[in-house]
Every structure is written in C-alpha cells, then in structure tokens.
Amino acid sequence: MSNRSTVAEYLLLGFSDTRELQILHFVLFLGIYLAAVVGNFLIIVVIAVSNHLHTPMYFFLMNLSILDLSTISVTLPKSMANFLLNTTTISYSGCAAQVFFFHAFCAADLALLTVMAYDRYIAICKPLFYKTIMKGTTCICMAASAWLSCIPYSALHTGNVFRLSFCKSNIIDHFFCEVPQLLKLSCSDSYFSEVGVFAFSFLLVVICFVFISMSYIQIFTVVLRIPIKEKRRKAFSTCIPHLIVVSLFVSTGASAYLKPVSTSPSALDLTASLLYSVLPPVINPVIYSMRNNDIKAAMRKLTVYRLLCRNK
C-alpha cells in the first residue's frame, strides 16, 4: 500500500454531527449490537450443550452464528466508539482492516449458506446416504472450506481498492469503510476497480445463488411427492428458515453492491448498507429460533435446568 502517506486517516460522517443525535445513535447501535450478540451467542451455547443438536445441520448453524457475530463486530463497535467519544476518525490501516474482514466474513457467510443448502439436499433427497456422506470429518472440511475460501476473495477485493490513490478527500459519508464509498474518494481512474468490485460480487453471488436454487428445486420436487402431510410439513419446516436467511442476505447485499456507485444518493447507500451489514446478524437468530422446534425445545430445557440449579 504505497499510497499510505497520501491519506493518513478517514472521517466517517454517515450520521449527524449533533451531539444529542450522536448519543441517540450510540444507544440505538448499542441495542442492535447487544441483540445480535445475545441472540447468536444463545444459539451457539444451546447447540454446544445439547447433545441431540450435535448434527451437521446445527453444526453449520453454529458456524453461521459465529460468522454473524464476527460480521457485525467489524463495523458497529468502531462506530459506537466514535459516537461516544464525539469523533469521526478511523486510521488508514483500520479502514483497510474493516474492508478486508467485513468482506471475508460476508463471503464466508454466503459460502456457508451454500453448504447448508447442500446439507438439506442430502438430508431430504438422499436420506439413506446422509450419515455416510455428511460424516463429522466431512462437515468440518466443508465448514473450514467456507471459512478459508473467503480469504482470497477478500484479499483481492481489498487490494483492488487500496492500490488506488486517495487524494480527493478523506471524508466517507458512511458509518464504516465500504468499498463503493472509498471508490468515490479515489483520484485514480477507478473505472476498472468499480468493474472489478461488481464482477467479484456478482460472480460470487450468482454461483452460490444458482447452487442454492438448484438444491432447493430438487428438494421441493422430492418433498411435494411425499404422500404423508405431516412428513411433508416437517421437511418444509427444516428448509424455510434457511430460505428466509438466504433471501434476506442476498437481497440486502445486492441492493448495496450490484448497482452503479455514481448514481446512488448517499442516503440510499447508507440505508442499503445498514440493511445488509446490520439486519441479517440480528434477524437470523430470531428466524431460526422461532421456526425451529428443536432449537426452542433446547432453549426451554436449558432455561429449566438453570432455574433448577439456582434453586438447589
């Protein structure tokens, strides 16, 4: 990053500079962050301590909760600290770290959602071979691949942006360092960088979305042929939460990245980024805990056990 001397730090001006509103934004962000932490941490603990949830589906769900916690922790804590300390600065290296880790966790999130679709496909379409195919070592390798495959993508994404010279301004109309906003500040010709950002994001989303869609087409084809209504309903209930999470993640992410940077107003960019960076980590635990009877039963069992231990 040879252009580091050009810009030493950035100013994150995504929200109001009025002190009262900064405190209000801090309180709102703190509530959102605590909701995400509590919800995801609760799912991680419940799956870890419940032996009957030690299956591939819940193993991947636990990894998804860890990724959601990591994603929201990259952006909100720094923004909350700025609100509380009445500052807007973030260092050049801090900005680069935000870009790298945010895209790494988001890419891993999408890869893991794709793996979860494959798990549901094997469970419903090939139930007799499920235990043979989805062995413990296989699940660990698939989860590790989802985590590790995001590193080259994020490195290319980050390097593609920070090889540019930033000499126009150091003001980012956002609450964290986002690639489309950084491209607006470049005094280099950023056309190919914009095309690269679009191509990387589009390729990743399309490949994963096509794989997920093909999996669920085959899943629904098999489920609709099940003659027993109760079994058909149970099969659908295991797929609906995952479908909702995928739709939420892809739609909010696409609204922020798969559009021309120059034609989007700052308010629209801010709203779209809030949706895809903050909403999924908060909503995902709610979706899985409300739609999954096993998770709800395990939570009730854990609560009763803690109450009994406290009474003793």
Helix %, strand %, coil % for the chain, to 5?
80, 5, 20
Does residue 34 surpass a pLDDT of 90?
Answer: yes
pLDDT attached to residue 2: 45
**Chain segment 250-276, per-residue pLDDT in tens:** 777 776 666 555 545 456 667 777 878
Instruction: Kindly indicate the confidence band of residue 77, based on its pLDDT and cuts at 50, 70 and 90.
Output: very high
Does residue 156 surpass a pLDDT of 80?
Answer: yes
Average pLDDT, the chain: 82
Single pTM value for the model: 0.86
Q: Which amino acid is at 110?
A: L
Domain residue limits, the chain: 9-311
Rounded CA-CA distance 15/21 in Å is: 8
Q: How many helices (H) and strands (E) does the chain have?
A: 11, 3
The residue behind tokens 């680069």 is: 96
- CATH top class, domain 9-311: mainly alpha
pLDDT attached to residue 162: 85
Instruction: Kindly indicate the confidence band of residue 146, based on its pLDDT and cuts at 50, 70 and 90.
Output: very high
